[in-house]
Amino acid sequence: MKMPEGFLWGGATAANQCEGAYNEDGRGLSSVDVVPFGPDRGPVARGELKMLACDSRRIYPSHRAIDLYHHYKEDIALFAEMGFKCYRMSVAWTRIFPHGDDAEPNAAGIAFYRSVFEECRKYGIEPLVTICHFDTPIALIQKYGGWKDRRMVDAFVRYCRVLFEAYGSLVRYWLTFNEINMLLHMPFMGAGIVFEPGEDREQVKYQAAHHELLASARAVRLAHQMMPGSMVGCMLAAGQFYPYTCAPQDVYLAMERDRDNYFFIDVQANGEYPLWARKRMERAGIALQTEPEDAQTLREGTVDFVSFSYYSSRCASADPEIAARHARGNAVVSSVVNPYLKASEWGWQIDPLGLRLTLNVLYDRYRKPLFIVENGMGATDTVEADGSIHDPYRIDYMREHIRAMRDAVNLDGVPLLGYTCWGPIDIVSASTGEMKKRYGMIYVDLDNDGAGTMARSRKDSFYWYQKVIATNGEDLG
């Protein structure tokens, strides 16, 4: 059993986790640049601790990252060696507009990404480009308060127009916002939100969500006008909530948690707010500030496909005592430990069947093509004396998830455009800021403190994934 002809195999990264060169060639500062490594990372990412500039006393591994900015030709050649058909990457908004809304785009930034896309095309690799991946320009946070302010919509659409004009002939597949539902869990990383004393946090988050949803819809509409034949998708941090027991209260709570998770995609795929969301906001006293044209904008800007990340399923219990048993790996989205699942060393519970379930649920819900744009396992890798890196745990994780994906397509009939694992090369972790937590099939000699040669080397999983792609998913041995 294999995947359909033309299936897009590949890998995924984000500019802020791999490029480095955070202040080179005119690039401006973005939200993720000021989120430090260490105990304050969570409070800053959640918008609870205000930090709009870098502090010389703190560590920011993403500033240098793996220096893809200067290594992209070498790295793309390695992706091509693995057989990639697709490379998901993001454009750093502040590399194009250093302040987010400059009078003119940064020529060096435009040239850099053009060169990256051309390098991909040289090897027959299709770029899949995320327009905004946790990188709201700091200047716009200072000017507007980030996505709290409706003026962010026009700034974003202008940024999109520049991208579409510059790269429309090189890029067919686009994503508007990375893991858009993370706005509710990490408001600063997701939307540049810093909460002020006395603010109604739920009101602020959902107002910002409305602005991002409008921006996404306008971007989709603009892409279709400027680039006929382009495909624009949304992107969700996915993972079904299982009820901890068959008690009706647990089942209902799991449904509510899933609804919360799908809220953004309901709007992006269906073009309107679901009734349950309207009712819930009404009960919570959340009153969105809207304009008369907003409903039409959302209707006319629905996405062409639904993409998502999947690392683990989640679990919900209405029993406060059980709910306190928090799964360590799901620190961003609260989840109860599922006693039927094993976990990675970072506490992420491993559930391949949950991926098949998620694929079926998403297609049943939206009836649009799907795209798995993140899936992988963070682990500590050991370099042997001869330089080899044996990572059977990563191969096992990917094998079982690809098998589940293959079953969803071939046995269940789910239309799936592609699979880009996270990440094909070791990069800085978004959740923890570590290099030690490695996802890649390509090892990068770099530690949490930034020490190392930056040399790239192939892990066992590199050759395994190469074989998987060469056989279009048939050989998972």
Dig out the tokens for 372 from the structure.
């798995």
The pTM assigned to this predicted structure is 0.96
Who's near 159: CB < 8 A, 6+ residues apart?
93, 96, 97, 100, 131
Instruction: Examine the pLDDT at 16 and tell me if it is beyond 70.
Output: yes
pLDDT at 390 over 60: yes
Going by DSSP bridges, is the β-strand pair 305-310/231-238 parallel, antiparallel, or unpaired? parallel
Task: State the pLDDT at residue 325.
Answer: 77
Contact between residue 123 and residue 49 where contact means Cβ atoms under 8 Å apart: no
Contact between residue 167 and residue 117 where contact means Cβ atoms under 8 Å apart: yes
Confidence grade of residue 88 (pLDDT, cut at 50, 70, 90)? very high
Would you state the pLDDT for residue 456? 98
Is residue 374 among the annotated active site residues? yes
| Whole-number Å distance between alpha carbons of 430 and 16 | 9
* Distance from C-alpha of 458 to C-alpha of 144, rounded to nearest angstrom: 45
pLDDT > 70: percent of the chain: 99
Surface-to-core class of residue 246, CB atoms within 10 Å of its CB (0-12 exposed, 13-18 middle, 19+ buried): exposed
State the burial class of residue 451 (Cβ atoms within 10 Å of its Cβ: 0-12, 13-18, 19+). exposed
From its phi and psi, is residue 450 left (phi > 0), alpha (psi between -120 and 50) or beta? left
176, 226, 367, 441 from 236: Cα distances, Å: 11, 25, 16, 24
pLDDT in tens, 264-286: 999 999 999 999 999 999 999 99
Mean predicted confidence (pLDDT) in 60-82: 96
Give me the pLDDT at residue 163, please.
99
The SS3 call for residue 109 is helix
Contact 116, 95 (CB under 8 A): no
> Mean pLDDT score of the chain, rounded to an integer?
96
Q: Is 115 helix (H, G, I), strand (E, B) or coil?
A: helix
Residue 329 has pLDDT above 90, yes or no: no
Catalytic residue selected from 196, 345, 374, 474: 374
Give the pLDDT of residue 328: 58
Q: Which two tokens stand for residue 35?
A: 């989120």
CA triplet 388, 389, 390: central angle to 5 degrees?
A: 115
Arithmetic mean of pLDDT, 51-64: 92
Q: Over 60: is that where the pLDDT of 330 sits?
A: no
* Mean pLDDT value of segment 208-217: 99
The number of residues making up the chain comes to: 477
Does 449 have pLDDT greater than 90? no
Please check the confidence at residue 476 and state whether its pLDDT lies above 60: yes
Separation of alpha carbons 207 and 149, rounded Å? 8
CATH superfamily label, 8-470: Glycosidases (3.20.20.80)
Hey, what amino acid is at 116? V
Question: Are 419 and 402 spatial neighbours (Cβ–Cβ below 8 Å)?
Answer: yes
Assign 448 a pLDDT band (cuts: 50, 70, 90).
Answer: confident
Helix (H) or strand (E) holding 241: strand 241-243
Indicate whether 331 pLDDT > 60: no
CB-based burial label for 289 (10 Å; 0-12, 13-18, 19+): exposed
pLDDT tens track for 281-326: 999 999 999 999 999 999 999 999 999 999 999 999 999 999 887 7
- Predicted local distance difference test score (pLDDT) of residue 196: 95
- Residue 332: predicted pLDDT: 67
Q: Work out the number of other CB atoms within 10 angstroms of the CB of residue 283.
A: 8
> pLDDT band at 10, cuts 50/70/90?
very high
Three-class SS of residue 306? strand
pLDDT at position 431: 82
- Whether pLDDT at 333 is above 90: no
